[in-house]
A and B are shown apart, each in its own frame.
Chain A
Amino acid sequence: MGLQIDKDHQRFRKIVKGKIRKDLRKFLTRSELIGREGKKYISIPVQGIDTPHFRYGDNSDGGVGKGDGQPGDKVDGGGDSGQGGSQEGQHILEVDVSLEELAEILGEELQLPRIEPKGKHRITADRDKYSGIRQTGPESLRHFKRTFRRALRRQIMSGLYNPAAPRIIFERRDKMFRSWKTVLSPQSNAVIIYMMDVSGSMGDEQKELVRLEAFWIDAWLRKNYQGIESRYIVHDVRAGEVDRETFFRIREDGGTRISSAFRLAKDIIENNYAPSEWNIYLFHFSDGDNSSESDSRDCCNMLTENLLPCVNMFGYCQVASAYGSGNFINVVHEHLNDEEAVITSRVNTKDDIYDSIKTFFSAGR
């Protein structure tokens, strides 16, 4: 149905996409609606344009809230005090959003294409699915309810049914049986190998960025593949495989030798994941402060020779750090610019994560 506001809405979308009124794009904001996934709060991004106004600066004066709590306790969901009395006549509910829906929302927001699994990986699996009904079949598949209903109908029609003493007797022609169809469903396997630099320069803030980024990568890939495995590698000058929990928690010190992680990734792939059967995704998170130029060169060689031929994508995500040169991303650009499978992005703040995800997956690989 055409609403008058559709015109305004389309115009707004065009502005957001930068098709018209490009001057307004600098006022783009990204607020969020808060939903919940399991115990985690998740946010659904809402784009907006905030034309400038005179307004107050930081909100350090705080606000007034209602509820229990001792001085010093955290106020959840606070921060909007300036808006305290200006909410429209509606209330925000918390809802549960499944990971599936979340990925859907993500895909819609970022307009990500569905991933096309590599051609040679397309294995078809036969699966029997009970989806129909027919009149012949083995007794073990008899559909009792339908059979009963048919018998009942027949008896009522033929006047044999006595409501006072209901007794239903099946005849052969009443019997209905479940039937199945064989479905050929394409099945593709995927593995994600996350690698993270845990050298001294990766602080809590950087890890938080990695965690969020990895969460969204995970959500999106899980939506696109059925059987998905994740492997986690951490490295400083040496690399080791860890479980998911450790991956996000671990705190180590020391230098950085990125090649160590690549070597381990290569071993894992060779031993477990034949490239002809698996869609392989490599993601590496680092602040880009590799210990030596020669090691960076080693990395590039290893990528071109061993890793890139067998993976769908190598995503390198560099998080900003107060220390270090952050030079690795430049090395990657320099040496691997022609490789389609290499995608890099920089994440400096949480706001960059959306763009980073979009960069990684917009090619639909």
Chain B
Amino acid sequence: MNQPLPKAIAEQAEIIAEHARREGLDFYPTIFEMLSSEQMSQVAAYGGFPKRYPHWRFGMEYEKLRKQHVYGLGRIYEMVINNDPCYAYLLNDNMFVDHKTVIAHVYGHCDFFKNNYWFSQTNRRMIDEMANHGTRVQRYIERYGQERVEEVIDTFLSFENLIDPHSMFMRRRASEQSAEQKRQTDDENKKNPIDGRYPAKPYMDRYINPPEQLRADREAHAKEASEAQMNFPEKPQRDVMLFLLHNAPLEDWEADILSIIRQEAYYYAPQGQTKIMNEGWASYWHSTIMTNYVLEASELIDYCEHHSGTLATSPGRLNPYKLGIELLRDVEHRWNTGRHGSDYDSCDDMATRREWGKDKAPKGRVVGKGSPGREKIYEVRALYNDVTFLDEFLTPEFVDEQNLYHYRQDPATGKMVVVNRDFDQIKRQMLFMLTNHAQPYIYVMDGNYKNRGELYLAHSHTGMDIEIKFAVATLKQIYKVWKRPVHLHGRIDDDPILFSFDGEQSTQQHIDEAVPAPANAF
């Protein structure tokens, strides 16, 4: 569907790649494609991929993006996929200077994908994987009908956010490894421990993975697991999707779809965890490469306009590009001038602090990791995610310089008003917004509640209550999967409440001694 990349742009991509490498960026081979704005909207609606499984929500996203474009409200300049090789898309009606900026920006992202720790567990052949998911879902649609498959997908999407992004990093010793947790080894011919499938070409799938066998395996597996442990699950389990995948009474194809959605959720998780850093890093490099190397004098005005447009902030909304690039530059500056460590931290003379290490700052252009500041930000890009990045590097000086404030709803008028510019509060608020993608932590506490096979979930309360209407609606969706009554332990206005849905009625009750406790407690 793509048009060939014009020669001039291909040449620029080479030149910019050269500069990026010299600056120390290390990225997968990157393939640029040129798209029309419709195609770009499609790719963006598909979360960056050329092909996904059929589902209406992509159409919904597409409509929104088209409207934004048609009414001139927004424009997607660039898309890039975390994949080896990286794929990046350029918009064909952009100006030449925009293409250059985007290319430089993309190399920043590619470097980040390749080197940031939080991406280390992602599937680098996701493009193939997504296409494969598309084929599998398409096959189920042909067999079971679009309506039915879509309903199942919609149901699963209601809890696609209930995963444990940290579980990707868990490594257990072999003796401790339960059957469930034997996860991915790279050996391709082994059966996939999650859904018990052997890799197979689609047309051979039914013979290599006979559905009866898979179901029998899964049942045996579930039985083994339930006998092996008194508490079920053994401890509170955050990966609700995995728990349902293993334990809910699903048809074979339903389980496959659930594993597809879960896999995609894990693939996207690191992007949610590193939005500020990733965009900040890419903007840092497009700015550095453009202004130091490849910007022509005649392109200056357009470059400045688009660069500042990307970094513009509107009230009440933090721009991750802006916050990211400014904080990275601040870190670079602090490490260049030695403004860290106990000597600096314990100094409370403002004048001294302001002048601290000014003479040490490198003069002139720094290339690659040629300064302590650069070295530090390369380290930051490898090891941090948004939460740890802000937690460690946000300083009162930075908050002050960036003119940040804390706002909240005024109960009297319902309008959002500035509350104050208190550093601790601002930082706490920002971290809260970023932790778990500003979504509540939900755990499976008991899969056999009251010894009646009911499912007991709990919200681990970290300061904000859950939305009741949505919680009840979500419980109903989970019921469709679990097919036995489901419960959610929530805390509303400091009062423990048990929300339940038994297939017909949804109820809520105050939790006291009369309510049986689940197998696990926090």
Binding site for B on A (CB under 8 A): 1, 3-13, 15, 20-21, 23-24, 27, 33-35, 44, 46-49, 51-93, 95, 97, 105
Contacts and interface: CB of A to CB of B under 8 A. Distances in A.
25 contacts: A12-B56, A34-B73, A35-B73, A49-B57, A51-B477, A52-B473, A53-B439, A54-B439, A55-B466, A60-B411, A65-B316, A69-B315, A71-B420, A74-B418, A75-B416, A78-B316, A81-B317, A84-B318, A85-B434, A88-B76, A89-B79, A90-B68, A91-B75, A92-B73, A97-B71
A79 B416 contact: yes
B320 A85 contact: yes
B185 interface: no
B429 A13 contact: no
A95 B470 contact: no
A5 B464 contact: no
A3 B42 contact: yes
Contacts of B442: 54
B313 A11 contact: no
B116 to A, nearest CB: 16
Contacts of A44: 67, 71, 73
B418 A46 contact: no
Contact of B57 (A12, A68, A70): A12
Nearest to A23: B151
B300 interface: no
Interface stretch (B122-130, B154-162, B188-196, B212-220): B154-162
Contact of A62 (B41, B55, B60, B408): B408
Interface stretch (B7-15, B369-377, B399-407): B399-407
Contacts of B74: 33, 90-93
Contact of B440 (A8, A55, A60, A66): A55
Contact of B59 (A12, A34, A66, A97): A12
Given A5-B45, A5-B46, A95-B72, A33 B67 contact: yes
Interface stretch (B169-177, B271-279, B291-299): B271-279
Interface string B444-476: 000000000000000100011111101101101
B521 interface: no
Given A56-B439, A57-B467, A64 B71 contact: no
A212 to B, nearest CB: 17
Contact of B465 (A46, A56, A82, A92): A56
Contacts of B386: 85
Q: Which of A27, A34, A89 has the most CB of B within 10 A?
A: A89
Given A51-B158, A53-B159, A64-B430, A5 B42 contact: yes
A142 B89 CA distance: 54
Contact of B38 (A3, A12, A52): A3
Given A9-B63, A35-B71, A89-B77, A84 B470 contact: no
Contacts of B60: 9, 12, 47-49
Nearest 5 CB-CB pairs, A to B?
A: A62-B408, A78-B316, A8-B59, A78-B416, A52-B473
Contacts of A87: 317, 320
Nearest to B490: A54
Contacts of A47: 60, 63
A67 to B, nearest CB: 5
Interface centre among B161, B312, B320, B407 (most CB of A within 10 A): B407
Interface string B128-168: 00000000000000000001001100100111011000000
B58 A5 contact: yes
Interface of B: 1, 38-39, 41-42, 44-46, 51, 54-60, 62-64, 67-68, 71-79, 147, 150-151, 154, 157-159, 161-162, 272, 275-276, 279, 309-310, 312-320, 322, 386, 402-409, 411, 415-421, 426, 429-430, 432-434, 437-440, 442, 459, 463-468, 470-471, 473-474, 476-477, 488
Contacts of A105: 71
Contacts of A59: 409
A74 B417 contact: yes
Contacts of A70: 418
A11 B56 contact: yes
A5 B59 contact: yes
Contacts of B467: 55-58
A73 B318 contact: no
A57 B466 contact: yes
A71 B438 contact: no
Residue among B73, B272, B420 with max Cβ neighbours from chain A (10 Å): B73
A1 B42 CA distance: 12
Contact of B316 (A21, A52, A76): A76
B63 A86 contact: no
Nearest to B311: A91
Contact of B279 (A65, A77, A89): A89
Contacts of A76: 314-316
B162 A60 contact: no
Contacts of B421: 71
A61 B464 contact: yes
Contacts of B42: 3-5
A7 B59 CA distance: 8
Contact of A75 (B272, B309, B315): B315
Given A10-B59, A51-B154, A77-B317, A56 B466 contact: yes
Given A3-B39, A33-B67, 12 more contacts: A3-B1, A11-B56, A33-B71, A54-B159, A54-B466, A66-B405, A67-B313, A78-B416, A90-B75, A92-B68, A92-B73, A92-B74
Contact of A8 (B54, B147, B154, B409): B54
Contacts of A82: 433, 438
Nearest to A11: B56
Contacts of A4: 42, 51
A73 B76 contact: no
B70 to A, nearest CB: 10
Given A8-B59, A72-B417, A54 B440 contact: yes
A57 to B, nearest CB: 4
A84 B279 CA distance: 14
A13 B59 CA distance: 8
A61 B73 contact: no
B62 A9 contact: yes
Contacts of A7: 54, 59
A5 B47 CA distance: 12
Contact of A84 (B46, B315, B317, B426): B317
A9 B420 CA distance: 44
A253 B440 CA distance: 48
Interface centre among A11, A23, A83 (most CB of B within 10 A): A11
B303 to A, nearest CB: 16
B407 A62 contact: yes
A56 B440 contact: yes
A52 B466 contact: no
Contacts of A64: 318, 404-407, 426, 429-430, 433
A228 to B, nearest CB: 25
Given A73-B417, A73-B418, A61 B474 contact: no
A55 B470 contact: yes
Nearest to B275: A85
Contact of A69 (B418, B465, B476): B418
Contacts of A10: 59
Given A5-B59, A78-B416, A53 B474 contact: yes
B150 A69 contact: no
Contacts of B312: 91
Nearest to A73: B418
Contacts of A46: 63-64, 67
B471 A54 contact: yes
A172 B168 CA distance: 88
Contacts of A71: 417-421
